[in-house]
Amino acid sequence: MLIAPAWLAFSLGYTGRGALLTRRVVAAVMALPVATIGLVATSDLHHLLWRNYRVVEVLGAATAAYDPGAWYYLHAVYGYLLVAAGLAYVVGSWLAGGTAYRDQVLALLVGSVAPSVAHVARTFRLGPFPTVDFTPLALSVTGVAFGYAFLRLELFGFSPATGRLGRRAAIDDVGVGVAVVDRRGRVVDLNDGAESVLDRSTGAARRERLDDLVDWDGERSDGPAADRDARLVELDSGAGRRTYEVTTSPVRGPTGGRVGATVAFHDVTARERRRQRLAVLNRVLRHNLRNELTVVSGHASLLAGELDEPAASQAATIEARAAALASLGETAGEIERMLAARDGPATPVDVAALVRSVADAARAEHGGTDGTVRVRADDEPTVATHERLLRPVVEHLVENALEHGGASPTVEVRVAETADGVEVTVADDGPGIPDGELAALVAGDETPLQHGSGLGLWLVRWGVDALGGELSFDDGPDGGAVVTVRLPAVTDAGDSPVDE
């Protein structure tokens, strides 16, 4: 009357489902056993449990015999159902966790099945000695098996409950709203974050279509929310008007077919507000900087032509500095446009052809010959990437090498396919990149004592990072700088690990 409910309670706790044992559930499970205890105490009045209780001899020993009543069978079958339910949860944890809990589950199976088989034989009078109850003897097997699991297999130290409850805690505490929907987009479950986003409890939202609970920028879709691409949406949640990045991931069954999806609501309100502020500041500053520096440069040019030395040289310096600042603003704008190119899909790019076109443009701009910028490509490697990201990276490396090279700069660009991907190497014959600029790039931040002189190398680093590649700097054998860009492995379009 007590062992079967206790076994079910243990099974739920062992597999991390202890939360199911609410007061109502416990009361419902214990209702029949409690009633049975009452019937045992009053058995002579109704004989629902047994009748004709007597002492008989079996193999020279005295034992009890009786004729079971209807309630006896009801109580026994009810207990078997509880034991079977507990076994199902325990075995399910083995199937879900692989071999991690195999030995524990085997010990629990032996310890629970042995007395159950003995009790079934006693209840339905099976075997050569139907009047003998072997259940107490079988419970000794239970004690040995459970004791081994407790003392040697860390039954309560390493159990499925930790993984199951840990996953649930991670979902609830990760700071992201997660909704689980079925194939038709109906809500199955919500974590705490999703309840806050949707301003509904799981019980109130369950079986409702997520599309009916979320205003996707005023749009409606015939398909479930699980079919939507990642997007930014503004929602009125429990925390007020917030911006969320919504992403979906399919949930697949044992056969690989999709049975639903998880829909994650990432609160990116602070990020989007910061991005908007930076975009406005960037646009205004660049626009005003360009206009004001144009005026400064024009006046400085006029003064340089009319003034005598040394004032003319000073005016020429003002003009040169104004041009440098204007170029800095243009580079900042190019960085903004370049990073925005990540939003498009990756496409196959012939890296060697791209490098050759950059070299041709550099020669034309600097009035050089083929010796000014040489390209060496032993093969024609193609990689799935973003050309609008890769091209400015190569352009700035070549431009930087020409600008800071020797008196008659010579730049060599090598393209090679390796086992891990594609390498683009730009080498010059100049003095090399200053240590201060390299230190800032490696550290990923600038300080008053450690900073670069411009944005060109930062454009290169951010572009390579966005492409999922690697950037390295070295000294050439005869001096000069050698910069190597390693792109991801050659793949088909769409498989490149570009940082989206």
The CB density around residue 159, as the number of other CB atoms within 10 Å, is 21
- Within this chain, do residues 13 and 130 fall inside the same structural domain, yes or no? yes
In a domain, 167, yes or no: no
User: Which residue pairs, CB below 8 angstroms and at least 24 apart, start in 27-35?
Assistant: 29/5, 29/82, 30/5, 32/74, 32/75, 32/78, 33/1, 33/2, 33/4, 33/5, 33/75
Look at residue 38 and give its three-state secondary structure: helix
The top-scoring range by mean pLDDT among 14-23, 27-36, 433-442 is 27-36
- For the stretch 373-400, pLDDT in tens is 899 997 788 888 888 889 989 998 998 8
Question: Is pLDDT at 223 greater than 50 in this prediction?
Answer: no
- Within this chain, do residues 57 and 158 fall inside the same structural domain, yes or no? yes
Tell me the mean pLDDT in the region 427-456.
64
- Within this chain, do residues 498 and 412 fall inside the same structural domain, yes or no? yes
* Cα radius of gyration (the chain): 38
pLDDT of residue 305: 79
CATH code of the domain in which 450 resides: 3.30.565.10
- Within this chain, do residues 140 and 179 fall inside the same structural domain, yes or no? no
How many independent structural domains does the chain possess?
4
pLDDT of residue 447: 43
- Within this chain, do residues 211 and 150 fall inside the same structural domain, yes or no? no
Question: Is pLDDT at 491 greater than 60 in this prediction?
Answer: no
What is the C-alpha to C-alpha distance for residues 56 and 217, in angstroms, rounded to an integer?
81
pLDDT of residue 40: 92
pLDDT of residue 407: 66
Q: Which of 290, 324, 343 is the last residue of a domain?
A: 343
In a domain, 169, yes or no: no
In a domain, 316, yes or no: yes
Q: Which of 326, 343, 360 is the last residue of a domain?
A: 343
In a domain, 170, yes or no: no
pLDDT of residue 450: 38
- Within this chain, do residues 404 and 326 fall inside the same structural domain, yes or no? no
pLDDT of residue 218: 41
What is the C-alpha to C-alpha distance for residues 276 and 336, in angstroms, rounded to an integer?
13
In a domain, 220, yes or no: yes
Looking up tokens 């060599």 gives 412
What is the average pLDDT value for the chain, to the nearest integer? 81
Q: Tell which wins on pLDDT, 252 or 118.
A: 118
- For the stretch 135-147, pLDDT in tens is 999 999 999 999 9
- Within this chain, do residues 149 and 208 fall inside the same structural domain, yes or no? no
pLDDT of residue 496: 40
- Within this chain, do residues 14 and 150 fall inside the same structural domain, yes or no? yes
- Within this chain, do residues 289 and 279 fall inside the same structural domain, yes or no? yes
In a domain, 168, yes or no: no
- Within this chain, do residues 156 and 96 fall inside the same structural domain, yes or no? yes
Amino acid identity of residue 264, one-letter, is A
- Alpha-carbon dihedral 442, 446, 447, 450, rounded to 10 degrees: 50
In a domain, 38, yes or no: yes
Domain carrying residue 220? 175-267
CATH code of the domain in which 214 resides: 3.30.450.20
Distances (CA, A) of 92 to 95, 159, 267: 5, 13, 35
pLDDT of residue 425: 94
Q: Which of 104, 137, 162 is the last residue of a domain?
A: 162
Q: Residue 246 — φ and ψ, nearest 5°? A: -105, 125
- Within this chain, do residues 255 and 359 fall inside the same structural domain, yes or no? no
Tell me the mean pLDDT in the region 245-273.
86
Q: For the whole model, what pTM was predicted?
A: 0.51
Amino acid identity of residue 197, one-letter, is V
- Within this chain, do residues 288 and 430 fall inside the same structural domain, yes or no? no
pLDDT of residue 448: 40
pLDDT of residue 143: 93
In a domain, 330, yes or no: yes
Query: How does residue 107 score in pLDDT terms, banded at 50, 70 and 90?
Result: very high
The answer to which of 166-175, 349-358, 416-425 has the lowest mean pLDDT is 166-175
Question: Is pLDDT at 367 greater than 90 in this prediction?
Answer: no
- For the stretch 298-321, pLDDT in tens is 888 888 777 778 888 888 888 777
